């Protein structure tokens, strides 16, 4: 019993010599929110709600090869090689090689090789160093590379001077720059009357 009292006395003396405020900087809490535990010297306060982070960017670096599917709610940037599909509600940028389909919002293809279909809910742009074997579906397409496949755009297709296309185009508006090479059929879709010459 005496040892227990001695321990309590020693503990009180020890804790009396420590000034917690001078050795540890603490965040000030309102007096009503803090509770002090004398034995552990810890403070507790009501839990604060934590907001989950929004979707970020998934990046696959140059020199990286992946076999499998990529699905995301955020943007995807691919600089390496992928054997599989990419599907996201965000944007897609490809600077590498894909053996699979792409499905996303805005899709940008630069110095890339694609063997698969490209489906965009908005715009697709491809530079002069991009090659595609597959179909493209988009609202708008800006093309300056090489492609073998079908194109269907809800609005406009722009073919720049370096374009080489083997396939058909269907869009409301099609512009072809001098130097572009096409082999296939062009269909102009129109929401108005199909035959304007039969109007009475």
Q: How far apart are CA 122 and CA 58, in angstroms?
A: 20
Task: For the chain, give the mean pLDDT.
Answer: 83
Q: Tell me 182's DSSP state.
A: E
38 in any annotated domain: no
Report pLDDT for 4.
Answer: 56
21 in any annotated domain: no
137 in any annotated domain: yes
66 exposure class (CB count in 10 Å sphere: 0-12, 13-18, 19+): middle
100 in any annotated domain: yes
Report pLDDT for 24.
Answer: 44
62 in any annotated domain: yes
How many domains are contained in the chain? 1
Q: Please, are residues 133 and 151 in contact by the beta-carbon 8 Å criterion?
A: no
Report residue 10 CA to chain centroid gap. Answer: 61
33 in any annotated domain: no
**pLDDT per residue over 13-46, tens digit each?**
655 544 444 444 445 545 544 455 455 445 555 6
51 in any annotated domain: no
**pLDDT per residue over 40-66, tens digit each?**
445 555 666 655 555 789 999 999 999
- Range list of H helices, the chain: 2-16, 20-23
Find where tokens 């179909």 sit: 135
24 in any annotated domain: no
Domain range enclosing 138: 57-188
């Amino acid at each position: 019993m005496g040892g227990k009292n001695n321990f309590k006395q020693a503990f009180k003396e020890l804790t009396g010599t420590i000034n917690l405020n001078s050795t540890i900087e603490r965040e000030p809490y309102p007096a009503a929110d803090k509770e002090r535990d004398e034995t552990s010297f810890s403070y507790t306060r009501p839990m604060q709600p934590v907001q989950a982070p929004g979707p970020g960017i998934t990046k696959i670096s140059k020199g990286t090869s992946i076999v499998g599917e990529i699905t995301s709610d955020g943007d995807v940037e691919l600089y390496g090689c992928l054997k599989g599909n990419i599907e996201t509600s965000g944007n897609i940028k490809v600077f590498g090689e894909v053996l699979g389909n792409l499905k996303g919002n805005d899709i940008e293809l630069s110095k890339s090789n694609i063997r698969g279909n490209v489906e965009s809910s908005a715009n697709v742009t491809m530079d002069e160093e991009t090659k595609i074997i597959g179909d493209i579906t988009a609202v708008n397409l800006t093309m300056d590379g090489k492609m073998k496949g079908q194109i269907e755009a809800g609005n406009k297709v722009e073919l720049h001077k370096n374009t080489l296309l083997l396939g058909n185009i269907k869009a409301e508006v099609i512009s072809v720059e001098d130097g572009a090479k096409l082999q296939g059929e062009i269909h102009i879709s129109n929401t108005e009357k199909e035959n304007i010459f039969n109007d009475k």
